[in-house]
Amino acid sequence: MNVEETRAYAQTANAEIDLGLRAMSPALESQRAFAESAQEVDRITGQIGVTLGQAMGFLATAMAVAEHIETTSKQIDGLLEQLPTSEVVEISSPNQMAGGIAGKIFEQVAAIYTRTSLQEETTAALRGIFVELKHPPDVNSTWVKLHHVFSRIYELIGKL
């Protein structure tokens, strides 16, 4: 191989590296964008874990309150049995199933919190919570408001 050919090959080698870097340039931009997006997903995942924890905290309180309602209802039922049948007492409609519903919601959210898996499994679980709340055995004004809140959640789930 003569000198001119050698020189030409060396210059070609350099030019090809330059072309390679130019071709790669958009990929490097994508890489940076990817890094930012991945960090954002990471941040969101952490935030979801925290938010689920907060939801579970309120549900735990709700379950305790619901159990208290159940206990109170049983006490009222016991006292009502002491009254003669001739006595008629007007008692406002208690939510007999409140404790059970709150407990189920708590269990489902706790399961989500434990897994922190927020794709199909999560949306299915959230839908399950919504179904429980949409068809409570004892519907009254308390649940109507909750239905409104949860129907918004349902709409969001539908977009996932």
The count of residues interacting with other proteins (CB under 8 A) is 92
Pairwise CA distance, residues 59 & 101, whole Å = 10
CB of 135 to other proteins, least distance (A): 15
CA 136 to chain centre: 21
Residues 18-57, interacting with other proteins (CB under 8 A): 18-21, 23-28, 30-35, 37-38, 40-42, 44-45, 47-48, 51-52, 54-56
* Per-residue interface string for the shown chain with other proteins, residues 64-103, x marking contact by CB under 8 A: -xx-xx--xx-xx--xx-xxx--x-x-xx-xx--x---x-
Residues 95-154, interacting with other proteins (CB under 8 A): 95, 98, 102, 105, 109, 115-123, 126, 129, 142, 145-146, 149-150, 152-153
CB of 109 to other proteins, least distance (A): 7
- In angstroms, the Cα distances linking 84 to 6, 80, 88, 92, 134 are 115, 8, 9, 20, 38
CB of 61 to other proteins, least distance (A): 5
Which residue's CB is nearer to other proteins, number 75 or number 131?
75
Identify whether the C-beta of residue 142 lies closer than 8 Å to the C-beta of residue 97: no
First to last CA, the chain: 64
Report, in this order, helix, strand and coil percent for the chain, each rounded to 5.
Answer: 80, 0, 20
CB of 72 to other proteins, least distance (A): 4
Beta-carbon contacts of 144 under 8 Å, excluding residues fewer than 6 positions away, are none
Identify whether the C-beta of residue 109 lies closer than 8 Å to the C-beta of residue 73: no
CB of 77 to other proteins, least distance (A): 10
